[in-house]
Structure 1
């Protein structure tokens, strides 16, 4: 196991964690729905993140 393997593993791990961080910080969902999306990303990976971006409720616009 060389340094290139470790570097490759870290890059792949980073790409796997990015959707989790983005969903956790998002204001589009709350509570149990957010937990469900995070679990979906953990078990289904990037496909669930794409569905989250497409299907999660949009922020309500203020009527100012």
Structure 2
């Protein structure tokens, strides 16, 4: 599941806990933990932060 998570999530445009639960067949607590770890690694970035829902997208190349 970890390899699939790292490979597949990079291709998703919209990433939420519900998306991971549906596509990867994992539970919500595991999906939340995975999203926070992927954000720390820089694979994804947070778009919207709310206490009930965090929305992420894939991190694109640095265009600064």
TM-score normalized by the length of structure 2 = 0.35
Greater per-residue strand proportion:
2
Greater per-residue helix proportion:
1
Higher relative contact order at CA 8 Å, sep ≥6: structure 1 or structure 2?
Answer: 2
Q: Which has the larger radius of gyration?
A: 1
